[in-house]
Homo-oligomer: A and B are copies of this chain.
Amino acid sequence: MRFFSDNAAAACPQVIEAILAANRLDTAYDGDALSQSLDGRLSELFETEVAALWVPSGTAANCLALAALCPPHGAVVCHADAHIQNDEGGAPEFYTHGAKLLLVEGPGAKLTPDTLAARLDRVVEGVHWVQPHAVSITNATEYGLVYTPEEVTAIGAITRARGLGLHMDGARFANAVAHLGCSPAEVTWQAGVDALSFGFIKNGGMSAEALVFFKPELAAVAKARRKRAGLLASKGRFLAAQILAMVEDDLWLANARAANAGAALLAQAAGDRLVHPVQANEVFLRATPQEAASLRALGFDFYDWAAGEIRLVTSWDQTEDQIRPLAEAIAAL
């Protein structure tokens, strides 16, 4: 059983059905009926007028958002462990034409109002020093921690006060909202978020993420950049269909709840071994190399993380029955 990552799981049946249903002639690019309905459908979900673009990867969503919020000569503040800093092969710099990422340290890959303000205060005004134009936070974070609406609001207050854009990398946004039990609006635009990378691929999708602008006027340039980056699929209806299927009847939340439940099961078994509280679908726990090896010998696959730590990620399609053996093996270590 694989606990490597949720981004390699199968697509869920509703997504597959939606793709099959979309397999007929329609207008190319994003001129088709499904693509054209995205803005409206996501505006309903977020209870405000949004502009939404399908894109083929989370990296693309993140970097189109950053490019919309930060000019080439500017900077984006993010955590030192953020995906945009460490795992996107330099895509933020490519899309922004070389904007800098200014890094903040802190536990759980979370920014706090204090650490953020301190970093911003360190930047001297003037052309010699790259000036911040945006902040990017990840919800849930790289370590599976969730920002609450209150925490995002506190960060949003800083970005608003200083005239900065606020981006949320929501590759696991569904897991965060499933944990919080709040509305999607509360933890995004109502808290000051300008652009959200709304992830579906890790959550049962096949090949589509949504880039959601809560300032719809940012979308026009982002659409030009999407084309310019070779991301504008000819048959965009296949991407739109996936997003619409995930939003229908809150499938995105149901899938995320299933993954979160699996992680909770593992967390319970892990007890004192946990490196971080488990709030979404990632479990980081302390394990000696021997312990890790013994788990692998039982048929469980996962990543070694820092020295003496392993990472377990659960997926939308893993049932309690499938996860329980790993939970028991952890408890028995």
Contacts and interface: CB of A to CB of B under 8 A. Distances in A.
Interface of A: 2, 4-5, 7-11, 16, 19-20, 23-28, 32, 55-64, 71-73, 75, 86-91, 93-100, 127-131, 201-202, 206-207, 221, 223-235, 238-239
A90 B132 CA distance: 12
For A62, A63, A93, the residue with the greatest tally of chain B CB atoms inside 10 Å of its CB is A93
A254 B103 CA distance: 42
Most chain B beta-carbon contacts within 10 A, residue among A32, A61, A91, A127:
A127
A28 B11 contact: no
Given A20-B16, A88-B227, A227-B127, A235 B8 contact: yes
B221 A73 contact: yes
A223 to B, nearest CB: 5
A20 B19 CA distance: 10
B229 A230 contact: yes
- Copy number in the complex reads 4
A276 B100 CA distance: 29
A86 B20 CA distance: 33
Contacts of A61: 230
A90 B133 CA distance: 14
B127 A234 contact: no
Given A93-B98, A227-B128, A232 B7 contact: no
Contacts of A95: 230
A5 B28 contact: yes
25 contacts: A8-B28, A8-B235, A56-B230, A56-B233, A59-B230, A61-B230, A72-B93, A72-B94, A72-B97, A73-B94, A73-B224, A75-B90, A89-B228, A91-B227, A91-B229, A93-B93, A94-B98, A96-B98, A97-B98, A127-B224, A127-B226, A127-B228, A128-B227, A131-B224, A201-B235
